[in-house]
A and B are shown apart, each in its own frame.
Chain A
């Protein structure tokens, strides 16, 4: 699996398929990216579960925090990890002890651990790294176009009404899979010593 860029159909399949998402590292502080993403995904109809041992006893948008994945006590489709790259492996190992296993492990923008990804994939789990599910959902639905962002999709069908609390269609025509040429180049340049 190439984790430098993803085919839109891969991301689309994941976001269309999962219903429940446990967010590890979810923050109740309303300026943190995890709070933004949690709120947005909840509004778009996902069953969200905040996981953060530091906030047990509190709620995030009416959902009670749990301390660990094991404490969720019911099957979850996707684990969204809001931690630095150095903290990914223990979360993946914890996820691999769940029964049933989650279908997807997603690591946030900036987070990448190839060894952890390989472990999860060996167990049949789909992995996404260094992406934000809120941005990908907004992009594939074209809702993000309000911000001048290149959704890299086209459609000649009537646009959805941009109301709250609604699932949006992610099935627009994609302009080629994966990232833009520019982002691919950026990824390559990261390894370039100059």
Chain B
């Protein structure tokens, strides 16, 4: 019972998991069931009324999923977490708790292209209005604040360009505006950056990427930092007002510093429905056990490949914040001292054509629309993930037409460099 804080690797293996109560199974079982029996009518009523802890139905929660949630909450230093079907589902569920039709949120312009689409089109149809700001210009966030602002959304390491966001500076803007800061920490993972330590109130992930890490399962997660007072003014009625769907319970009053995670589960997930499958939760949980080992190798390989490309005569520029001289190098040293991640872009002197040729000549890198796999991946964002954007928006989001994006895997770095060498020379 000594109160010492275990290290990150110990938490990555153990947090949230315990041998199964009935069988003693040591690995977390896949509870592949839709529903759970009640002990009696009173127990059922207590569970439905949020009065007891326990399982009801897998759209609301599942024991395999619960282990995944507690593990990520522990790794991020949050009070609680909620796992959902995908990174995009996490973003919908978070904003549904915070915005009413007609409200606004401020988002960094440098984001995963799919998030830019989701915010611009899908969310607009819900009446949630995104206002864009430039993550390299903190004052642009301040200028975007209005009385309808309900949240600020940024990526810690931005996809695709791998640029690093000054989380603390933007957290200060959010605090002054009295709104929560949401950080998408997908590309960094808590191994490289823990946004809550820098002022984030909510962290979201696509678990599909480095956390799951093997390119085999979709998932998303929401982490509650437990730091935001939802009842301070009337901005967040989902958390501060009596909820008619639960006989007038006030979520923050009842659940204290993990109220946001509970709201996401019992108001968001329950009603919108994007539950993670128990099997995917198991696959991602297994992936997380090796997160520290994998991330160290991803970062080591990414640095070696970036250095190699920076010295290649056919390469015009390499955007890897881990390299000295990169405009984000100081931020990378501050926020991600263990490594600047494994997703970055570079451009070729031969422009768009040369980029397309490179992608088709690579033999080990896989050409596909994902990042954060054990395998090394390559894509041309301008014609794929960011193709819906116009040219100006492509440049602003770091996906200019001559840019190629790499996600460096955990193979032997010599083999990755040899593959690039042959493809650049072909």
Chain A residues near B (Cβ < 8 Å): 7-9, 12, 30-31, 33, 35-36, 39-40, 43, 109-110, 132, 135, 138, 142-152, 154-164, 171, 173-177, 180-183, 185-186, 189-190, 192, 194
One of A36, A40, A149, A155 near B18 (C-beta < 8 A): A155
One of A144, A174, A194 near B53 (C-beta < 8 A): A144
| In the complex, B351 has a CB within 8 A of chain A | no
Which A residue sits closest to B5, measured CB to CB? A176
| In the complex, B340 has a CB within 8 A of chain A | no
Per-residue A-contact encoding for B1-24, CB less than 8 Å = 1, 0 else: 111111000110011101111101
Q: A155-B18, A180-B78 provided; 12 other pairs, C-beta below 8 A?
A: A30-B51, A31-B249, A145-B16, A148-B80, A148-B261, A154-B6, A158-B21, A160-B21, A163-B39, A181-B77, A182-B197, A186-B225
| In the complex, B54 has a CB within 8 A of chain A | yes
- Contacts A36-B254, A182-B77, A194-B175 hold; do A148 and B18 have CB atoms under 8 A apart? no
| In the complex, B63 has a CB within 8 A of chain A | yes
Cβ distance B176 to chain A, nearest Cβ, rounded Å? 5
Cβ distance B181 to chain A, nearest Cβ, rounded Å? 12
Q: Are A181 and B6 in contact (CB under 8 A)?
A: no
Q: Which residues of B contact A33 (CB under 8 A)?
A: 253-254
Q: B65-73, B136-144, B355-363, B377-385: which one contacts chain A?
A: B65-73
Q: Are A158 and B247 in contact (CB under 8 A)?
A: no
One of B73, B226, B248, B255 near A183 (C-beta < 8 A): B226
A39 and B45 CA atoms in complex are apart in Å by 12
| In the complex, B81 has a CB within 8 A of chain A | yes
- Contacts A31-B247, A36-B254 hold; do A148 and B54 have CB atoms under 8 A apart? no
Q: Which of B67, B196, B246 has the most CB of A within 10 A?
A: B196
Q: Are A40 and B52 in contact (CB under 8 A)?
A: yes
Which B residue sits closest to A108, measured CB to CB? B256
Which A residue sits closest to B254, measured CB to CB? A33
- Contacts A135-B256, A150-B73 hold; do A158 and B226 have CB atoms under 8 A apart? no
Q: Which residues of B contact A171 (CB under 8 A)?
A: 1
Q: Which residues of A contact B120 (CB under 8 A)?
A: none
Per-residue A-contact encoding for B237-267, CB less than 8 Å = 1, 0 else: 0000000001111000111111001100100
- 5 A–B contacts from the bound complex (CB under 8 Å): A40-B52, A146-B53, A146-B66, A156-B18, A175-B3
- Contacts A154-B15, A157-B18, A159-B20 hold; do A186 and B226 have CB atoms under 8 A apart? yes
Per-residue A-contact encoding for B71-98, CB less than 8 Å = 1, 0 else: 0011001111111000000000000000
Q: Which residues of B contact A40 (CB under 8 A)?
A: 51-52
One of B39, B80, B197 near A164 (C-beta < 8 A): B39
Q: Are B77 and A149 in contact (CB under 8 A)?
A: no
Nearest first, the 5 A-B pairs at minimum CB distance are: A148-B69, A176-B5, A150-B73, A186-B227, A159-B18
Q: Which residues of B contact A135 (CB under 8 A)?
A: 255-256
Cβ distance A104 to chain B, nearest Cβ, rounded Å? 19
Which B residue sits closest to A150, measured CB to CB? B73
A30 and B14 CA atoms in complex are apart in Å by 36
Cβ distance A156 to chain B, nearest Cβ, rounded Å? 7
Q: Which residues of A contact B327 (CB under 8 A)?
A: none
A146 and B49 CA atoms in complex are apart in Å by 15
| In the complex, B55 has a CB within 8 A of chain A | yes
| In the complex, B172 has a CB within 8 A of chain A | yes
Cβ distance A111 to chain B, nearest Cβ, rounded Å? 11
- Contacts A31-B49, A36-B254 hold; do A156 and B19 have CB atoms under 8 A apart? yes
| In the complex, B219 has a CB within 8 A of chain A | no
Cβ distance A187 to chain B, nearest Cβ, rounded Å? 9
A181 and B256 CA atoms in complex are apart in Å by 16
A124 and B92 CA atoms in complex are apart in Å by 51
One of B5, B79, B197, B254 near A149 (C-beta < 8 A): B79
Q: Are B248 and A31 in contact (CB under 8 A)?
A: yes
Q: Which residues of B contact A147 (CB under 8 A)?
A: 53, 61, 66, 80, 258, 261-262, 265
- Contacts A148-B70, A152-B74 hold; do A182 and B79 have CB atoms under 8 A apart? yes
- Contacts A9-B1, A135-B256, A194-B176 hold; do A148 and B226 have CB atoms under 8 A apart? no
Q: Which residues of A contact B333 (CB under 8 A)?
A: none
Cβ distance A25 to chain B, nearest Cβ, rounded Å? 13
- Contacts A145-B16, A183-B227 hold; do A110 and B1 have CB atoms under 8 A apart? no
A142 and B247 CA atoms in complex are apart in Å by 27
Q: Which residues of A contact B43 (CB under 8 A)?
A: 164
Which B residue sits closest to A109, measured CB to CB? B256
| In the complex, B46 has a CB within 8 A of chain A | yes
Q: Which residues of A contact B11 (CB under 8 A)?
A: 175
Per-residue A-contact encoding for B196-217, CB less than 8 Å = 1, 0 else: 1101000000000000000000
One of A39, A146, A152, A181 near B54 (C-beta < 8 A): A146
